[in-house]
A and B are shown apart, each in its own frame.
Chain A
Amino acid sequence: MEPKEIAELIKERFVSEVLDIKDFCDQVSVIVKKDRIKEIMKYLHSTPELYFDLLTDLCGVDYLGKKEPRFEVVYHLYSIKHRHMIRIKAEVADDECSIDSVVDIWAGADWHERECFDLYGIAFNGHPDLRRILMPEDWEGHPLRKDYPLKSDLGDMEWKGVKEVIEIAEKNKGYEVR
């Protein structure tokens, strides 16, 4: 099916949810509200003529200062059977930074959602194991947000973790090597 037709189908079915449909380079994005995202996804996954069985990708985008609401969660869906693709974008606001998880539709969404949570701070409701994945467990902040500094703002000051490391080293002096 042509991507545009799919977009029209979604719009027909979820009139109040679809905000916009964009077409660029033969790739169609459907921008939707986040509230009924799971329903939309289930529809896309289970309808026989659409049958999007492969969740190619799931990622977040931060439009800080460009657009309101600030975040978007982008789903790339592909159907191996019908060989068509669609991009769904769900808008997520900064003050209510969460969206429903799609793990029970595509198991492969598990780590993508964890990554999105890790790097953007978008929480996924109903995710079985929402932990940081790429960054260390005790990391502060979400690195891919646009307001996250690219370089440390400490300047020449030493890294604040250094004190902690020295403390641990002092404590462990009690243990002998031999």
Chain B
Amino acid sequence: MTAGTGEIKTKELTISMGPQHPATHGVLRVVLDLDGETVVKCTPYVGYLHRGTEKLAENRTYLSALPLMDRLDYISSMSNDIGYCVAVERLFGIEPPERAKYIRTIMGEMTRISSHIIGVATHALDIGAMTLFLYSFRDREWLLDLFEMTCGARLTVSYPRIGGVRNDVSQKFLDSLYKFTEEFPKKIEDEYETLIDQNRIWLQRTKGIGVISAEDAINWGLTGPTLRGSGVPYDVRKYAPYDAYDKVEFDVPIGKNGDVYDRYKCRMEELKQSNRIIKQCIEKMPTGPVMAPDAPKFTLPPKDKVLTDMESLIHQFVLITKGPMNAPEGEIYAATEVPKGELGFYIISDGTGKPYRLRLRAPSFVHVSVLPVLCKGGLVSDVIANIGTIDIVLGECDR
């Protein structure tokens, strides 16, 4: 070929992935600048699901802000509720009874299992392994049925309350859950890991992709399995235990290389650990009340009491109209380990029945911000793998 006078002009191809895209887990939009198939620049755009949860919560009483938390990470609504309740309890200085703590721990770990299997399965679905997705839905169904058995809702549960949980769990629930914990580890090994872990294509697609070092991961503020994949054993359940986590034994699995595979492996190990925690909780479950004795000052009294007891009626009336009366003035930051990472609630109270400021530290929000780092220099297919591996839920990210 003879050289022409003009140079060939090349331009990067810009494609907008999302907000309507099957692999963006909701309404994430990622603008990719591509050189061939290589990603030169990746810019995530969020906010399509912004509902102003923080603003709404500032105008509601502590109790009626609880259902808003269900809608954050709608795959693990129970964990969000628990996180919120833990924060408000610390602010008010309430200690929930032992049994409530154990129930909450069980619920939190059930949510972790259902969230992680959905996370891993959708991740696999994005990479093209469809079958695992449906296997995971079978197991998740069991857990959702158990949620329904306890609180009547499958997804937006609103089950924990400030000072305990709404109602006690039944023996049938515990029996069914125990059966689940007996069967689940076998399912992980026989089905999940056989389908994915021994698959060369899966290993090729995940190993060495989206690498982030431990220092960078901390610097970017990552938490949860996304951070632990890089080898940092930071887990709020161990570092600042809440509920009954200091009374059960479990390990915090960590990765080594900080790539997609390690993060996936961490999630798989956590499934087994969660299973272990649930089993211990059922075995150690104490008897007793599920609501703190001074909880009526903060949480609605039971309906039959309201209809027969004057005191309860007054409590109910005040709580509905004004919110908890004796909220202290002060501020608190309380973090819990939800399936996605560290969910923090920063509540500023001015002594009224409504939070003056309620700030949500959403792990998904932080995790999306690291996407450009993970994706840079990879291929389009790696972007999909990376979106899957940070395990985001846009409801929580956009709040």
Contacts and interface: CB of A to CB of B under 8 A. Distances in A.
Interface residues of B, number: 39
Interface stretch (A10-18, A21-29, A165-173): A21-29
Given A24-B330, A135-B50, A56 B219 contact: no
A24 B332 contact: yes
Given A56-B342, A59-B359, A110-B369, A143 B55 contact: yes
A69 interface: no
Interface string B295-331: 0000000000000000000000000000000000011
B335 interface: yes
Interface in B370-399: 370, 398-399
Contact of B46 (A53, A62, A133, A144): A133
Given A57-B346, A134-B399, A143-B52, A107 B220 contact: yes
Given A80-B218, A111-B366, A143-B52, A29 B47 contact: no
B91 A107 contact: no
Contact of B55 (A25, A74, A85, A150): A150
Contact of A108 (B47, B52, B369, B399): B369
Contacts of A66: 350
Contacts, number: 93
A134 B333 contact: no
B276 interface: no
Given A108-B366, A110-B369, A27 B332 contact: yes
B221 to A, nearest CB: 3
Interface string A126-159: 0000001111100000011000101000000000
A111 B365 contact: yes
A42 interface: no
B369 to A, nearest CB: 4
Nearest to B329: A24
B29 interface: no
B361 interface: yes
Contacts of B331: 24, 27, 29, 87
Contacts of A85: 333
B398 A134 contact: yes
B162 to A, nearest CB: 15
A76 B344 contact: yes
Interface string A68-83: 0000001010001001
A61 B333 CA distance: 14
A87 B361 CA distance: 14
B234 interface: yes
Contacts of A134: 46-47, 50, 398-399
Interface in B27-62: 46-47, 50, 52, 54-55, 59
Residue picked from A25, A132, A144, A150, most chain B C-beta under 10 Å: A25
A111 B369 contact: yes
Nearest to B91: A25
**Interface size grouping (class) on chain A:** 35 or more
A43 interface: no
A17 B93 CA distance: 32
A54 B218 contact: yes
B332 A53 contact: no
Contacts of B93: 25
B232 interface: yes
Contact of A144 (B54, B366, B369, B370): B54
A76 B332 CA distance: 11
A53 B222 CA distance: 11
Interface string B345-363: 0101010000001010100
A74 B216 CA distance: 23
A57 B50 contact: no
A29 B368 CA distance: 29
Most buried by A among B46, B90, B239, B366: B366
B221 A56 contact: yes
Contacts of A106: 219-221
Nearest to B399: A134
A66 B356 CA distance: 11
A76 B333 CA distance: 8
A7 interface: no
A80 B359 contact: no
A56 B361 contact: yes
Nearest to A87: B333
Contacts of A135: 47, 50
A123 interface: no
Given A80-B239, A112-B366, 9 more contacts: A24-B332, A25-B90, A55-B221, A80-B232, A106-B219, A107-B216, A107-B220, A108-B366, A135-B50
4 nearest A-B pairs in the assembled complex, by CB-CB distance: A108-B221, A24-B330, A111-B369, A134-B47
30 contacts: A24-B332, A25-B93, A27-B331, A29-B331, A53-B219, A54-B218, A55-B221, A56-B342, A56-B361, A57-B359, A59-B359, A61-B357, A61-B359, A74-B359, A76-B333, A83-B239, A87-B333, A107-B216, A107-B219, A107-B220, A108-B221, A108-B366, A108-B369, A108-B370, A111-B368, A133-B46, A134-B46, A136-B47, A143-B55, A144-B55
